[in-house]
Amino acid sequence: MKQISIGNVAIEQTAALAPMASVADYAYREMCARYGAAYTVSEMVSAKALCFGDKKSLTLLRRCSGRSPFSIQLFGDDPAFMAKAAKIILPYAPDMIDLNMGCPVPKVAGNGSGSALMKDPAKAAAITAAVAEAVPVPVTVKIRKGWDGQSVNAPSFARLMEQSGAAAIAVHGRTRQQMYRPPVDRDIIRQVKKSVSIPVIGNGGITDAASAEEMYRETGCDLVMVAQGSYGRPWIFSEIRSYLESGVIPVEPALDEKLDIMLEHISLAVADKGEHTAMMEARRVAGWYLKGMRGAAQFRFLCSSLTSYEDLKLLAAQVKAREKVSEEA
């Protein structure tokens, strides 16, 4: 498999896992790494919270196994705090540090962070320069197409981030105003690729191997990044690798295998967070694995009352048994 370099970090040219708040925790990243994610990124972490010693923020920094490089994403709007936070996270051994300049949610963008920084390129440049000067690892920046349809500035913004020390740019092909609504503008990613000399990572609307290949082909990007397309489908990364290498997409895991993968995922979360917290989150995560399955709605309903890992194991066994009876009928 071909590789690209982000600073001094070698990355396989397959697909990376995007940073996703309240989703891409240790267990989620570990599962995606096991299935071949080119690299994984933490949930976004508040720079100010780190600087003020917030212990909960520190729990977001755990590195998964050494299967692939690991990046920690910071958000904030103050260069000094961002640089200090970048130094604080170095003991957690990130291979890279990512700067969030694309998050569209009001509680982030409304405070001048995330995608709001695309309205203030000078401040964004100051943040990037401060962090790049503060740490010895490559600094990447994740951006959007622009704030809205009247202020599309991704190409010029990306050039400025490169000039400020960014080692790579990830571009989500939607504006902040769009949030996560279609369409994804792949042409803007192509324009960014033409505008900079550092690696460009295409993001947005990648839901399967075919859409990953289309992103590569239509934009010329150096890497693609998968977000919601990985929900309950950590094997999407092995599918993308296979398709890029051979043009063949592996057979989708059978139901029994999906259930086993789900149980493995939740067991990692239990070990990391404790059973109570992990099972509260499993009510949502478990349902992702059986999306599109016959009876999935009922399964999600039953997941909504999970309180223990044993409950989940029992529910999975019941689903397997029901499916076996259905196949034999």
Domain count, the chain: 2
Cα distance between residue 221 and residue 193, in whole Å: 6
- Confidence band of 325 (pLDDT split at 50, 70, 90): low
Query: Above pLDDT 90, what percent of the chain?
Result: 88
Active-site hit among 32, 51, 64, 103: 103
* pLDDT reported for residue 191: 98
Q: Which residues of 1-29 are buried (b: 16+ CB within 10 A; e: fewer)?
A: eeebebbebebbbbbbbbbbbebbbbbbb
Task: Please state the rounded mean pLDDT for residues 155-183.
Answer: 97
Cα distance between residue 64 and residue 200, in whole Å: 24
Q: Where is the domain boundary, 203, 218, 246?
A: 246
Judge if 63 and 186 occupy the same domain: yes
Q: Where is the domain boundary, 215, 246, 277?
A: 246
Task: Please state the rounded mean pLDDT for residues 275-279.
Answer: 96
Judge if 274 and 155 occupy the same domain: no
Cα distance between residue 294 and residue 243, in whole Å: 27
303 is a catalytic site residue:
no
Strand partners, 143: 101, 171
Task: Please state the rounded mean pLDDT for residues 92-99.
Answer: 97
State the residue range of the domain holding 30: 3-246
Contact 293, 254 (CB under 8 A): no
CATH of the domain at 264: 1.10.1200
Contact 83, 130 (CB under 8 A): yes
60-92 confidence digits (pLDDT tens): 999 988 779 999 999 999 999 999 999 999 999
Q: Is the pLDDT score of 327 beyond 70?
A: no
* pLDDT reported for residue 300: 85
Neighbours of 249 (CB within 10 A): 14
Judge if 227 and 299 occupy the same domain: no
Neighbours of 51 (CB within 10 A): 19
* pLDDT reported for residue 328: 60
